[in-house]
Chain A
Amino acid sequence: MELVCPAGTPAALRAAVDAGAHCIYCGFADETNARNFPGLNFSRSELAQAVGYAHARGAKVLVAINTFPTAGKETLWHSAVADAETAGADAVILADLGLLAHTAERHPDLRRHLSVQAAAANPDAINFYAQAFDVRRVVLPRVLSVEEIAAINREIDVETEVFVFGGLCVMAEGRCSLSSYATGRSPNMNGVCSPPEHVDYATEGTDSVARLGGFTIHRTPKGGVAPYPTLCKGCFTSGDKTGHVFEDAVSLDASKLVPKLAKAGVTALKIEGRQRSRAYVAQIVRAFRAVTDALEDGRDPPALALARLSEGQAATTGAYAKTWR
């Protein structure tokens, strides 16, 4: 199984390659990718160098161009695709119909993966993208159980890639405007969710409060520290219920499900976290590489001690184990 690892910087990319990543995904430093954070991502020359470094060590580089191009400014996205091809990228990860059509027509030899931002959640959607744009791999949305993934793989001819570790979108990705409702900036348009320039931390009495666009997302009493106000992970009130209405402050850890995912026909395992440090990336990559190597050799995969690397210190298997059903 292929391990697809995040890199927000050239240093993180080298760390991931050195730690045994089969594949690294990254993006350009602009709004063409869904991790458009200050200080992150690659210039054109950095990408070319990174591809050289990875290829020399047998690893592949995938370039995420997975936001939805802005009307009137499509050339920014078109040049990102062209520049990824020029830099020698092994594939581009796309979500927008128009950009997929453009890439299939103008860059037919550049391998196309369907981003999770396209939220293709069933065989009909995947077969549609495969037939229309010759997409070769689809990153599955994090709303499916392992059984559903196995069923999907029986009906499609393209590869599937699934998230196994890191931040967890509880909404169908690429179809969520919660962030822009509160702040005006969204993953689809700007490549950001709950962006820091709209975050306000305050101490009120003994409470620590974290707001997003003026809306209170967390209020932690008695000297505790309010977590980062990612909108869907917030604590809210509805009728007589107060709590995490959408999702607890957990992150995804499907490491124990890797053998089942392999049986379900999954080709690649994806680790979220282009915004994380190179030390974090190296540690996660090494741990998961031990799992995929064991699987290749027919051994039982080692249990991973990744709990302290999980966001919010608690982990979930998300939709994979069907607990949402």
Chain B
Amino acid sequence: MDLTVAPNPFFWSADAVRSFYATLSDAPVARVVLGELVCSKRLPFWQDEIPLAVDSLQAGGKQVALTSLALITLRRERKLTADLLGLGLPVEVNDLSALHHIPQGVPFWVGPLVNVYNEGTLRWLARRGATRICLPPELPMASVAVLAEVAQAEGVALEVWGHGRLPLAISGRCYHARLHERAKDSCQFVCEQDPDGRDVDTLEGQRFLTVNGVQTLSQAYACMADHAVALRDMGISALRLQPQSAGFDALCADYAHLLAGDLSAQALVENLGAAHPDMQFCDGFGRDSAGATWRGHAVPV
């Protein structure tokens, strides 16, 4: 079992992107998916960093793939998706319309925003060319176990969401713009103010969700450390870690130590808690429970 770094869903400056991927080149992760996942309007501000990041990650021995957008609607977004194929790297499909541009037989990856819930879907994707699939985070463990067997038979590497705010929903509406009383087309890129998303609490102050442009995430950070051994035993081949603005290199190192068996899940959680005192955790989807729960308990206020 190894580690895959998810595409960064947030809007960071070009400088922040450059330094993040430069550091990541030395991290103990096997592969990195990058590119704009959430909003095509952000891309012009940082797209020049992508080839630099690819070069430095590949020089660091990482396998690199490029993600499609999560929700493709506009003409230029469709062209962007078609153009991804010409770049010589595997494409990670996070909106199924990307498949329209991928010829039969060309290998591709499937991200967690594509609905792979059952054997029929997994087999169909495998025969269409999928070589690596990250399952949707809400999938119960019983389903993960069934799909792990099918994936092995089909020769597909299967990944499970390992760490990071859970991608819960995608919309045509931009919530960052809405919170700033702006329309989507005149958003003035306010999502750049929130490098880990903007928190949304209940009226009673319960920490609940995080908005990131058109995306809604959990406010708690999923942490599947407790489940890593069980997932490996099922045949899951990688845990997926989502970028965050602080402490990501230490986090990658800790997860690598966890997989190598020289750091316990408990110690990993304690390290994370010490480095990020405000970070809330959840692992309910790994326990067939509400996703927001952590180690069998409701998330505290």
Given contacts A214-B298, A238-B211, are A219 and B169 in contact (CB under 8 A)? no
> Does the CB pair B288–A184 fall under 8 Å?
yes
Measured CB to CB, the nearest residue on chain B to A97 is B121
Chain B residues with CB under 8 Å of chain A are 71-73, 75, 77-78, 81, 95-101, 113, 115, 117-125, 136-140, 142-144, 146-147, 166, 168-175, 178-179, 183-185, 198-206, 208-209, 211, 216, 218, 284-285, 288-292, 298
> Does the CB pair A238–B115 fall under 8 Å?
no
* 11 sample A-B contacts, Cβ–Cβ < 8 Å, listed by A number: A74-B119, A97-B96, A121-B97, A122-B97, A124-B97, A181-B284, A182-B290, A184-B284, A237-B202, A237-B205, A238-B198
Please report the C-alpha to C-alpha distance between residue A215 and residue B119 in the assembled complex, in whole angstroms.
34
Q: How far is the CB of A152 from chain B (nearest CB, A)?
A: 9
> Does the CB pair A72–B120 fall under 8 Å?
no
Interface residues of A in 59-107 (CB under 8 A from B): 68-72, 74, 95-99, 101-102
| Contacting residue for A181 out of B119, B168, B185, B201, CB 8 A | B168
Query: Which chain B positions have C-beta within 8 A of A99?
Result: 120-121
Give the number of residues in A that approach B within 8 Å (Cβ atoms): 68
Q: How far is the CB of B34 from chain A (nearest CB, A)?
A: 21
| Contacting residue for B118 out of A98, A144, A171, A181, CB 8 A | A98
Given contacts A125-B96, A213-B292, are A319 and B118 in contact (CB under 8 A)? no
> Does the CB pair A170–B143 fall under 8 Å?
no
Given contacts A97-B120, A186-B138, A245-B175, are A239 and B198 in contact (CB under 8 A)? yes
Chain A residues with CB under 8 Å of chain B are 68-72, 74, 95-99, 101-102, 118-125, 127-128, 141-144, 148, 151, 170-172, 174-178, 180-184, 186, 188-189, 198, 213-217, 219, 232, 234-239, 241-242, 245-247, 319, 323-325
Query: Which chain B positions have C-beta within 8 A of A242?
Result: 203
Please report the C-alpha to C-alpha distance between residue A320 and residue B126 in the assembled complex, in whole angstroms.
36
Please report the C-alpha to C-alpha distance between residue A122 and residue B203 in the assembled complex, in whole angstroms.
37
Q: How far is the CB of A58 from chain B (nearest CB, A)?
A: 35
> Does the CB pair B142–A172 fall under 8 Å?
no
Measured CB to CB, the nearest residue on chain B to A242 is B203
Please report the C-alpha to C-alpha distance between residue A118 and residue B123 in the assembled complex, in whole angstroms.
18
Please report the C-alpha to C-alpha distance between residue A178 and residue B215 in the assembled complex, in whole angstroms.
11
> Does the CB pair A324–B184 fall under 8 Å?
yes
Please report the C-alpha to C-alpha distance between residue A324 and residue B183 in the assembled complex, in whole angstroms.
6
> Does the CB pair A69–B117 fall under 8 Å?
yes
> Does the CB pair A189–B117 fall under 8 Å?
yes
Please report the C-alpha to C-alpha distance between residue A180 and residue B170 in the assembled complex, in whole angstroms.
15
